Amino acid sequence: MAFLEGNALFRNLYCLLAGNSGNAQHCGRDGLLPAGWEWLAFALVGFAITFLLLSAFLLLTMFYTYLERRLLGRFQGRIGPNRAGPFGLLQPVADAIKLLTKESIVPQGADWLLYNLAPLMMVVVMFMVLAVIPFGKHTFIADLNVGVLFIIAVTSVNALAVFMAGIASGNRYALFGGMRAVAQLISYEVPMVLSIVGVLLLAGSLSLVEIVEAQVIPFFLLQPLGLFIFVVSASAEMNRPPFDQLEAESEIVAGYHTEYGGMKFGLFYLAEYAAVLTTSGVIATLFLDGWEGPLLPSHVWFLMKVFFLAFIFIWVRATLPRVRIDQTMAFAWKFLLPLGIINVFMTAAELLLFGHEEAGGQGIVLSTADLWLMSVVNFAVAVVGIGAFSRLVSLRTPALPVSAPKPSAAEVV
């Protein structure tokens, strides 16, 4: 029962129901169910943990919507929501009630099945990512040995869901928004994957739990360029400013969800805000040492890191203006992609240069001194690389030639 040994959350509930002589070393007590009913214990515990985790996640997402609107108000010199409940804390509940009571209208020319399936896909993807994120020591739903690949594969479905919403609405503006979304999401997926490669080379594993345990020093010190690329690419993937061209109101109304209203629009809204928390959890796991931290419980440290990263996303939204779609695409292919390739080659070269083969030939190990030296080198490469490509890749619109005014008839005479 190695699964019980590594997952404290599952072990405690499972032992309460099905502890017996076969797993006494893990449980230490007898459970409520008789021997032979372990399958029922697994099913009940799995359902209970999933239900509790999703409920807690939805509550945190509701709180985050309130927090973002309050902070944006402060950034912009206004108050923010303060009417529903004390300090406006019930504003997310009021918004949910409003969306639930609105009439759900399906456009006459819409594809009914795809139209209703798209918002559900967006939300389900965010929930599936939670399955592999360790949110505390020995606390997770599943520790997959391909956890990083699972996240990349699952989040790629977002592009399909967005395009389904655009094409199924029977609206040309929604279709244009969906086509933009596919181009942007696929473009930024490439540098995002490249930014993770350096982490995987250092950790030697695709398991998120093992990546956290491999961080002798946090990987953001060893992979500053990878962290920068991942955060920027994640902002574009989540349709966060300044990369929110998928919903450019001045050009394409509301983008791919123009024809959505009521709770269907609410699901898109929920998925967008939930993505910020799940992405912050992934960043904290890959680059900020996950649940690790002194004194406080591991779950508290993880939540503190997640909300710190979420605050950074809010800060960027309040600070930077929206860029044009051509600038957004050029930034991915001309700026982030070359930097991602440089980061991968630099990390691989450093492992070959500083690494020592582990006893038995199982992998490459690095001393703490080597890691700090790599950190200094990679920070220098990040500063030089970002500065150099910022000058080489200009996103400014070139000045258009101005033709001389034609002389009037009086001037000709």
Q: Could you read off the pLDDT of 198-210 as tens digits, one per residue?
A: 999 998 889 999 9
CA distance 165 to 12: 42
- Judged against a pLDDT cut of 60, whether residue 411 lies above it is answered with no
- Judged against a pLDDT cut of 90, whether residue 328 lies above it is answered with no
Structure-block tokens of residue 95:
């918004």
Residues spanned by the domain of 230: 102-392
What pLDDT, on a 0 to 100 scale, did the predictor assign at position 144? Answer: 86
Confidence label for 94 from pLDDT (cuts 50, 70 and 90): very high
Least confident of 57-61, 140-144, 313-317, 362-366: 362-366
Query: Does 319 fall in a domain?
Result: yes
Q: Into how many domains does the chain fold?
A: 1
- At residue 348's C-alpha, the angle toward residues 345 and 354, to 5°, is 130
Query: Does 302 fall in a domain?
Result: yes
Query: Does 31 fall in a domain?
Result: no
Mind listing the pLDDT tens digit for each residue in 245-265? 766 666 666 678 888 888 888
Query: Does 48 fall in a domain?
Result: no
Structure-block tokens of residue 14:
């499972």
Query: Does 270 fall in a domain?
Result: yes
Average pLDDT of the residues in 50-71: 90
Instruction: Decide which of 121 and 358 is more confident.
Output: 121
How many Cβ atoms are within 10 Å of 141's Cβ, its own excluded? 18
Query: Does 223 fall in a domain?
Result: yes
What pLDDT, on a 0 to 100 scale, did the predictor assign at position 256? Answer: 81
Query: Does 243 fall in a domain?
Result: yes
What pLDDT, on a 0 to 100 scale, did the predictor assign at position 335? Answer: 92
- Judged against a pLDDT cut of 80, whether residue 267 lies above it is answered with yes
Contact 229, 195 (CB under 8 A): yes
Query: Does 355 fall in a domain?
Result: yes
